[in-house]
Amino acid sequence: MRREGRGDRDWRRYERDWRGYERYRRDEVSLFLSKARNLVESSPAPWTPQKRGQPPYPPKAMVTLLLLKTWLGIDYRSISAYLRTFPEQRIKVGLEETSSHTTIRNHMLRIPETYLRRLNTQLTKPTKRGLAADSTGFSVLRYETWLTIKGGGKRRGYVKLHILIALANLAILNQNITRGTRHDSPILKNLLKPIPESVGDTCLNPAYLSRQNRNLVAMKGRTPIIKPKRNTIMRKHGSQAWRDMITLWLEDQATFLRRYHQRSKTESVYRALKRCYGNHLASRKPAAQRRELHLRTLNYNIGVANLTTIREENR
């Protein structure tokens, strides 16, 4: 249903599955723990425990515990106290005894990033519909503001999260973490690398505008929709896909913009990430910060998978 009086864009009112949403929120904790543990148990262990020394904690149980810690948004001491207060949750995680906060912190640094990427790939399914990519920053200091930059000449510390989402269900298919000043355009190659060939639009903002990125999307069998800049010219320089895109922009801008504005769904994903887990990182070490962001995106995808399953059951 269209809503009038909101500018030249077509605003639509979408039907919401409130029954499925209420069921998801009612059983949110149990659904998360069940999905997280099944995901971790179905994949190989992130590392092999050593035979010497004290008996180690199960690697898969520690990964599930770190997922729960990130989902709750609490620190290492709080998650240790949480398990002592609620021993039934410790049993669901797969631990026989509660570990100390230092042990949990050390296991955070021990998880390989490739392992977390593999879990995300296992959780998300390849989509035959559209894709979209964008980036946003996460502050590494909780109380740092722009006033410190004006007064003391300091630079704001943050890291940048680049994501590639599926427009069908807003799941994060791939992510890349860089320093805050890294440009978006060169990262698209890494985001598209594990994505199989298929059809559909790939919506990108002007920061990704280049003939190389246009060809990368076309090689995946998809149609790149990148909004041109004012000084963009039609000259293809060996890229026919570039000329096709600019031709569509010049001949039918209304259709082009309608397809391009699907990119705005990436803002919804970032809004959900920052609203649920905050816009700053609790970890101090860069290695831990990267793993924390991977855990956040993984928790987000677990929620998307659970909500999608409930909606399919209610049909």
Mean pLDDT within 142-163: 65
Distance of CA 247 to the CA centre of its chain: 33
Q: What is the distance in angstroms between the CA of the first residue and the CA of the last residue of the chain?
A: 21
Predicted confidence at residue 104, as pLDDT, reads 95
Concatenated DSSP letters of 166-211: ETTT--EEEEEEEETT--SGGGHHHHHTTPPP--SEEEE-GGG-SH
Burial class (CB in 10 A: 0-12, 13-18, 19+), 3: exposed
Predicted confidence at residue 17, as pLDDT, reads 77
Rounded to whole angstroms, how far apart are CA atoms 63 and 69?
10
13 within 8 A of 3, measured Cβ to Cβ: yes
Which residues are CB-neighbours of 14 under 8 A, at least 6 positions away?
none
Identify the helix (H) or strand (E) that includes residue 49: none
Q: Which CATH architecture has domain 127-276?
A: 2-Layer Sandwich (3.30)
pLDDT tens, 214-243?
889 989 989 889 888 887 777 767 677 778
pLDDT tens, 161-195?
999 999 988 999 999 999 988 999 999 999 999 99
HSE, side-chain direction, 13 A CA sphere, residue 121: 13
Rounded to whole angstroms, how far apart are CA atoms 134 and 261?
13
Residue boundaries of the structural domains of the chain: 18-111+284-314, 127-276
**What pTM value is reported for the model?**
0.88
Predicted confidence at residue 4, as pLDDT, reads 47
- Coil, strand or helix at 254: helix
Mean pLDDT within 189-209: 91
- Burial call 73-111: b when 16+ CB within 10 Å, e when fewer: eeebeebbebbeeeeebbebbbbeebbeeebbbebbeeb
